[in-house]
Structure 1
C-alpha cells in the first residue's frame, strides 16, 4: 500500500462535514461504495467498492482501481479488457462514506456484459404490474465473450 497518500483522521461530525481533508469511512469489511459516472455525459457507468489500498492507487495512477468483493482482490478496471477509467474528478459525500468518480471511460464500455454502462435496465415504475418489470435501455457496444475470452 502506498505510503505517499495519507488520509485524514476521522473526527467529529462537524469536522467530517466541513474540514477539507479526505477522511473516508470504510465499512466493517474495509470497503467504501464508489459510483463511476461518465464525466462528459454524467451517465452512471457502474457501482463498485474500494478499499483503502485501491482508493490510494486510484489517486496515485489517475485510473480507477476497485476492490473486487467476489474475487477478494484489487481490481484495476480495464486491466483485462483495456476499458480503463481515467479519473477526471472525485467527490465524497458529507460524511465521507461514499465516493463518486467522474471518469473518461476508455474503450467500448464499462460493463462486463458488453455494454457501455452497468445500468442498462430501468425499472418500469408502473405499480400495477406484478412482478415489477425491467426495460433494457442500452444495446451492446462490444463483444464481451471475445474481450474476456469466456
Structure 2
C-alpha cells in the first residue's frame, strides 16, 4: 500500500471513470513506440510521480501494482503529461525488458488491423 497522496491541484485536473480511474498510455521515451495502456487511481499516479516508477491499478485484482516488481521489467518514468480533457495521462518511460505481460516489447505487437500501403 502506498503512502503517497496526489497533489490536490493535479487531482482537480483529472476526469476519472465512475470507479475512480484514469487511463494511462505508456510510451517508450527513446523510440516513441506505445508500449501499453493501463489504469491509474490517484494513489498510483501519486506514487508514480514520487518514485518515477510505473505504478498502475489492476481492475481485475482490485489493487495497485508496480510495473516490474515481480518480473524485473521495470519502467523508469521520464515524464508524465495530462491530456486536454484530463481523462488520460501519458507516461514516457525507459523500459527494461518486455512491457507486455505476454513477454513482448509492446502490448500492441499482437495484431495490426490496418497498415500504410
TM-score normalised according to structure 1 size: 0.70
Separation in structure 1 between the aligned mates of residue 85 and residue 103 of structure 2, nearest angstrom: 34
Matched, 1:117 2:117: no
The alignment's TM-score, normalised by the length of structure 2, stands at 0.88
The alignment's C-alpha RMSD in Å is: 1.4
Q: Distance in 2 between matches of 1:123 and 1:115?
A: 18
The aligned counterpart of 1:86 is 76
The reply on whether 1:34 has 2:24 as its aligned counterpart is yes
Q: Which has the higher contact order (CA 8 A, sep 6+)?
A: 2
Which whole-Å deviations, capped at 9, do the CAs of 1:9-34 have from their partners, x for residues lacking one?
A: 64xxxxxxxxxxxx222211000000
Q: Deviations over 1:94-133 (max 9, x none)?
A: 1211111000001x210111111000021147xxxxxxxx
Answer whether contact 1:7 1:24 (CA < 8 A) is retained.
Answer: no
Is 1:6 aligned to 2:7, yes or no? yes
State the secondary structure of the residue aligned to 1:59: helix
Unpaired segments ≥5 residues, structure 1? 11-22, 126-150
TM superposition outliers: structure 1 runs of 4+ over 6 Å: none
Cα distance in 1 for partners of 2:8, 2:80 equals 14
Structure with larger Rg: 1
Aligned residues: 111
What secondary structure is seen at the aligned counterpart in 1 of 2:44?
helix
Unaligned runs of 5+ in 2: none
2:66 to 71, 76, 86: 76
